Amino acid sequence: LEREEPHYFGAGPALLPTAVLQQAAYDLLNYQGSGLGIGEISHRSKPATDVINQSKARLVQLLDIPEDTHEIFFMQGGGTTGFSSIASNLMANFLNRKGKSGKAGYVITGSWSQKSYEEANRLGVDTEIIANAANARGSNSTKFGTIPNVDSWSNNVSKDDTAYIYYCDNETVHGVEFQEFPFEKYEGIPIVADMSSNFLSKQIPISKYGLIMAGAQKNVGIAGLTIYIIRKDLIPQPSDHKLLIENGIPITPIAFHYPSVIKNNSAYNTIPIFTLQVINLVLENLITVKGGLQAQEDLNRKKAEKLYSVLDKYPEIFNLPVEKSVRSKMNVVFTISGGEIKEGIFLKEAEKRYKLTGLKGHRSVGGMRASLYNAVDTTSVDLLCKFIEEFAKEN
């Protein structure tokens, strides 16, 4: 099975290493010479359990996850099932730990944290906005492009009343990324991160987090699974969920009920084991081919620096709406002077000249977005930079 190396910058589902997909295709047909594909066997069989355990072990190795304090599990779904399930599971845990209901704090820096906040409200969770980047850009603005200074974040957040503080580490649509862990101010409150679009792009100080979740289909694999890393004391007790009902919050459906999933080593119900095998192969590739997480992080930094610096050279043509200090290394967003007509030409020519694809911005914001996930090679970034230079000179 072969393909020409794609120069694909789509935001998700996203590019994966060709070698991983070749192996995955083989595994789908005939897993380890068994005569059956990995997706055809029981999710409780030994080969399936091995895939689950190996993936967990590789995550521990890559991220240096402290296993005495943190638990890893996988659940069907993506980012959205991630933020929905977080709200009810962590609230159930808080109700038990504190014997009273509490609030969930949200830091809003783009459309994904905004959606997570709205979902928690929809589920009847008592929420509070800790910081809002939309407001930081003008009172009626819904545009995002900055992260307000931590000093300006709410000072009225008490650990006795706050179940968790939630934020999105990389806002895929708006191209805003946290450059460091910003929550020292809220010590004692569990910090929850959506890392769906930058998970495994850089090192993470796992021990500082209460919960990290990541939908798989960008840096880590194909759609179908979410990866969770949770601090063990935040796992609800099975009976905590009754407390939700008493407090007007819908009870968590069993397939998203963390204690049931964890107790069954991520196979409470049928885990899409082929999807997990793709993740497992991506993790293996990161360790053995890419040289580990630090090497990948360094490469990602260089790729992003290259692209931003060529865009910055032509401010009269390319407009970068995100404040420099919070620019995402994964999703580079920009617009082109001349609006949609020029942008259309940019997209068409990029594909025609160098087969550069997947550059159209999210439908809600327009413009361009070049996603530089782990699998996007430096060669692709170099070609894109070359094309941008040509486009700038021609325009």
Nearest distance, CB of residue 38 and ligand PLP, angstroms: 22
Nearest distance, CB of residue 288 and ligand PLP, angstroms: 27
Nearest distance, CB of residue 261 and ligand PLP, angstroms: 17
Q: How far is it, in rounded angstroms, from Cα 83 to Cα 194?
A: 8
Residue showing the smallest CB distance to ligand PLP in the complex: 78
Nearest distance, CB of residue 242 and ligand PLP, angstroms: 28
Residue 217: name the closest of 297, 177, 272 by CA.
272
Residue closer to ligand PLP, measured from CB, 62 or 168:
168
- Using CA atoms, how far residue 266 sits from 56, 77, 176, 327, 388, in Å, is 11, 13, 32, 35, 45
Nearest distance, CB of residue 95 and ligand PLP, angstroms: 26
Residue closer to ligand PLP, measured from CB, 112 or 391:
112
Segment 35-40 long-range contacts (CB within 8 Å, at least 24 positions apart): 37/274, 38/273, 38/274, 38/277, 39/272, 39/273, 39/274
Q: What are the tokens at 107?
A: 């830091």
- Using CA atoms, how far residue 145 sits from 111, 195, 199, 324, 334, in Å, is 11, 18, 21, 9, 11
Binding site for ligand PLP (CB under 6 A): 12, 78-80, 112, 168, 172, 194, 196-197, 215
Residue closer to ligand PLP, measured from CB, 78 or 102:
78
- Our separate counts of H helices and E strands in the chain read 11, 14
Nearest distance, CB of residue 147 and ligand PLP, angstroms: 15
Residue closer to ligand PLP, measured from CB, 85 or 196:
196
Nearest distance, CB of residue 112 and ligand PLP, angstroms: 4
Quick one: CA dihedral 274, 275, 280, 285, positive or negative? positive
Nearest distance, CB of residue 214 and ligand PLP, angstroms: 8
Write the CB contacts of 120 (distance below 8 Å, at least 6 apart in sequence). Answer: 83, 87, 104, 106, 127, 166
DSSP letters spanning 183-234: -GGGTTSPEEEE-TTTTTSS---GGG-SEEEEESTTTT--TEEEEEEEEGGG
Residue closer to ligand PLP, measured from CB, 57 or 223:
223
Residue closer to ligand PLP, measured from CB, 102 or 175:
175
278: left (phi over 0), alpha (psi -120 to 50) or beta: alpha
Residue closer to ligand PLP, measured from CB, 216 or 311:
216
Residue closer to ligand PLP, measured from CB, 12 or 190:
12
Residue 132, strand partner residues = 108
